[in-house]
Structure 1
Amino acid sequence: MDLAVIALSARPLAASAARAGLAVLSLDLFADLDTCAHAARCVRVHKKNGYAFDGDDLIQALASLSPPGLPVVLGGGFEHDTALMSRVGVRNPILGNMAETVRVVKDPLALAALCGHLRIPFPEVTLDAPSGALSGAALLERRIGGWGGQHIRRRAPDETGPPQEGHYLQREVAGVPYSLLLLSNGREVRVVGASRQWTDPSDDQPFRFGGVAGPVALPHGHGAEILAAATKIATVCGLVGLVSFDLLLAPEAWWLLEVNPRPGASLEIFDVDPMPPLLALHLAACGGKLPPSLPAPRDVSAAAILYADRQIIVPQGEWPAEAKDRTAPGAVIPQGAPVCTIHARGPSVDAARAKLAAGLDAMRRHLGLPETGTPQ
């Protein structure tokens, strides 16, 4: 075994590892058939509080199944629980950003202060009841270290108190969501690519992550300024490996919303030929090595999440070829939970998203769900 990969959903990391010829232990909340196909050993970790690790079960699984000193790469699921990161790192060295670094860049007040110092546009935030410039402003309430957009809600105008514990308030700004994925060794960076993101809102989760497509050009002439800003943050904070920056872009302005100091949602759309395996590049960057340059993919790749409109019992039969994260027949998927990821490629974002829509509808037919059409 070469290393362990741990994330709420580890399939993209395990797939990249397999592409790099690495044998991995995969620990996540699903242990779906595709993840198990890519990993030397694949284990499902107990969850708690919705979609979060049961830390004790994770540590027990890691201790039981890996030798001391086996390196670990962490994906999503630790930003709100850096204490769990530290517990992992006691026995297994983390190849990526350490808990102390993650704690700083996921602290909204610390990130706001850093952006102010570096003159990077960042919407105002507070941990207290809104006052001053935020009083009467349109506000979002976000969980510190949250992921996937499920944790974000829009505050009602008559809500004047502080956010709930573990959350913060951020001024709502208008724009189109993008993400920039970089490879960093702490001193310099290489651009992997920018991607366009969109939401798949539900009644109680209006900002739920829907999908991503890339590579794309950052519009409105903001590209050079955004790259300069992301490079400053990566080097000032000493970030290593694959890191991504969530952005909102409008014709007249742009804003940084979050820094994700680990491999993120756009990993799998860029981990395609002729790009070298991104997990291998991540490991090299953590050791200080960056390639002279990175190739651009020939086509646009896209991925979208299919969520369960109602409770689903997975039927017998072959899944559509575009679907990943396959679950065994008979498994029960609760309403609102992610069912699978649909992949597509095309010569443009519009072409890739049209194929995504067809793939989503094919999967919905397989599950007996109504078809909905192109994702927004």
Structure 2
Amino acid sequence: MDLAIISLCARPLVASAARAGLSPLSLDLFANLDTCAKAARCVRVHRANGHAFDGDDLIAALTGLAPAGLPVVLGSGLEDDPALMERIAARNPILGNTADTVRVLKDPLALAALCGALSIPFPAVTIEAPDSGFAAGPVLEKKIGGAGGGHIRRRDFGDLTPPAPGHFLQREVAGETYSIQLLANGTEALFVGACRQWHYPDDVHPFRYGGMVGPVALPTAHAGRMIAAALTVARACGLVGLVSIDVVVGREGWWLVEVTPRLSAMLDILDTDPLPPLMGLHLAACGGKLPSSLAVPAEHRASALLYAEEDVLIPDSDWPAAAVDRPAPGTAVRAGAHICAVRAGGPTAEAAERVLEDRVHEVREWLGLERIALAV
């Protein structure tokens, strides 16, 4: 084994590592068919609180399967638990950003202060009960260190109660969400590409992550400033490896809303020819090396998550080819849970989205679910 990969769903990271010729140990919550097909060893870690790692079980699995000193690459699932990152790093070095860096970037007040110091637009935040002026506009309540959008709720107008423990309030800004992918080495950073995101809402989770398409051109009026801001944040924080910056672009301007100091779902979109394997670039950048330039992916890709509106039993037959993150036949997926992802490609982002909609309908039909419109 060349490295260990830890992520709520490790498949995109494992696939990128395999493309780079590496043999990874995978530790995640699913151990799905696609992850296990490309990993040297694939282990499902116990859950805590529904959709988080059981830290003790994760450390036990890493200690039992990975030799001391084997490097670790992190995906999602640890931003809200820097202490668990420190437990991992005590035995196995993390190739990526440190727990202290994550603490700062996931602290809403610290991120607001950073953006203020760098003259980057950022929606107002508070961790206390809002005053009447703050509460008079649209307000979101978010989990500190949360990922995937499922933790975000819209507050009632005029609600003056404080956020729940471990949560914060942020003024809602309307517009489309874009993710900017960067490659950084601690002092410099390169723009890799941008993707546009969409939501897959239900009655309880209005901002649940639905998917993305890319590479896309950022809105022309703000593109230069947004990329410059993302690069400035990376340099100011000494970020390393692949990181992403989320921005919302609306009629009144643009705002930075989140910094993700780790590998993300953008791997599914941008890790393709003629770019070299992004995992390889990440590892090199963590060692201080950046390429002089980066190519643009030849194909546009779109990826959507499929959630179960009702309890689903995975059929004992071959999955449609467009599906990834596939559970094994006979797996029971409870209502509201993630079933799989669906991917498609095309010569343009719009073409990839059109193909994706057909592929999603194909997978839903195979699962026995009714046809719905894809909210891209």
TM range (shorter): over 0.9
1:349 aligns with 2:349: yes
Moved more, 342-351 or 71-80: 342-351
Say which SS state the counterpart of residue 62 (structure 1) adopts: helix
Match of 1:10 in 2: 10
1:28 & 1:135 partners in 2: Cα distance?
Answer: 39
Q: Secondary structure at the match of 1:273?
A: coil
Counterpart in the other structure of 1:294: 294
Match in the other structure for 1:244: 244
Deviations 1:109-158 (A, max 9, x none): 00000100100000000000112641412100000000010000000124
- Distance, in Å, in 1 between the alignment partners of 2:109 and 2:199 is 26
Deviations 1:144-192 (CA, angstroms, capped at 9, x unpaired): 0000100000001242111000000000111111110000001111111
Provide the rounded CA distance (Å) in 2 between the counterparts of 1:133 and 1:186. 39
1:181 corresponds to: 181
Opposite residue 317 of structure 2, the aligned amino acid is G
Calculate percent identity across the aligned residue pairs: 59
Describe how 1:285-324 pairs up with structure 2 within 5 A. Answer: 285-324=285-324
Query: 1:375 offset after TM fit, Å?
Result: 2.9
Question: Which stretch of structure 1 is more off in the superposition, 117-126 or 245-254?
Answer: 245-254
| TM-score, structure 1 as length reference | 0.98
Contact 1:8 1:28 in 2 (8 A): yes
Residues 300 and 352, structure 1, Cα contact 8 Å, conserved in 2: yes
Partners of 1:286 and 1:170 in 2: CA distance: 32
Residue pairs, 1:113-124, within 5 angstroms? 113-124=113-124
Match for residue 336 of structure 1?
336
- What 5-or-longer segments of structure 2 have no aligned partner? none
Alignment of structure 1 residues 210-289 onto 2, 5 Å? 210-289=210-289
What is the match of residue 32 of structure 2?
Answer: 32
Classify the secondary structure of the residue corresponding to 1:190.
strand
Number of equivalences: 376
2:227 and 2:325 mapped to 1: Cα distance? 32
Cα distance in 2, alignment partners of residues 219 and 247 from structure 1 = 11
Question: Partners in 1 of 2:321 and 2:4 — Cα distance?
Answer: 27
Q: Which residue of 1 aligns with 2:97?
A: 97
In 2, distance between residues paired with 1:123 and 1:368? 42
Does the Cα contact within 8 Å between 1:71 and 1:94 map onto a contact in 2? yes
**Per-residue deviation at 1:205?**
0.2
Question: Residue 252 of structure 1: CA displacement?
Answer: 3.8
Pairing 1:104-115 to 2, within 5 Å after superposition: 104-115=104-115
Letter aligned with residue 141 of structure 2: E
The 1-side partners of 2:268 and 2:365 are apart by 25
Q: Which moved more, 1:93-102 or 1:184-193?
A: 184-193
SS at match of 1:91: coil
Taking the aligned partners of 2:374 and 2:172, their CA distance within structure 1 comes to: 26
Contact conserved, 2:132 with 2:158, CA < 8 A, in 1? no
Cα distance in 2 between the residues matched to 1:201 and 1:9: 20
CA distance in 2, matches of 1:48, 1:201: 24
Distance 2:63 2:110 in 1: 34
- Indicate if the aligned counterparts of 2:182 and 2:193 stay in contact, CA closer than 8 A: yes
Q: Structure 1, residues 307-365: CA drift from partner, whole Å, max 9, x if none? A: 01111111111111110011111111111111111011112222111111111111111
3-state SS, counterpart of residue 22 of structure 1:
coil
Write out aligned runs for 1:142-153 (5 A).
Answer: 142-153=142-153
Alignment partners' CA distance in 2, 1:215 and 1:87: 36
1:10 offset after TM fit, Å? 0.2
3-state SS, counterpart of residue 215 of structure 2: strand
CA distance in 2, matches of 1:117, 1:77: 29
8 Å Cα contact 1:220/1:252 also seen in 2? no
* CA-atom RMSD in angstroms: 0.9
Q: Deviations over 1:31-63 (max 9, x none)?
A: 001000110000000001111000000000000
Report SS of the residue matched to 2:360. helix
TM-score under structure 2 length normalisation = 0.98
Match of 2:365 in 1: 365
Distance across 1 between alignment mates of 2:237 and 2:276: 26
Q: CA separation in 1, counterparts of 2:314 and 2:155? A: 36
State the secondary structure of the residue aligned to 1:358.
helix
Residue type at the aligned position of 1:212: M
Residues in 2 aligned to 1:225 and 1:333: alpha-carbon distance in whole angstroms: 43
In the TM superposition, residue 266 of structure 1 has moved relative to its aligned partner by: 1.0
CA distance in 2, matches of 1:375, 1:191: 28
**Rounded Cα–Cα distance in structure 2 between residues aligned with 1:299 and 1:20:** 19
Looking at structure 2, the residues matched to 272 and 96 of structure 1 have their Cα atoms a distance apart, in angstroms, of: 21
CA contact (8 A) 2:135 2:159 kept: no
Provide the C-alpha distance between the structure 1 equivalents of 2:327 and 2:228, rounded to a whole number of angstroms. Answer: 42
1:373 Cα shift? 3.0
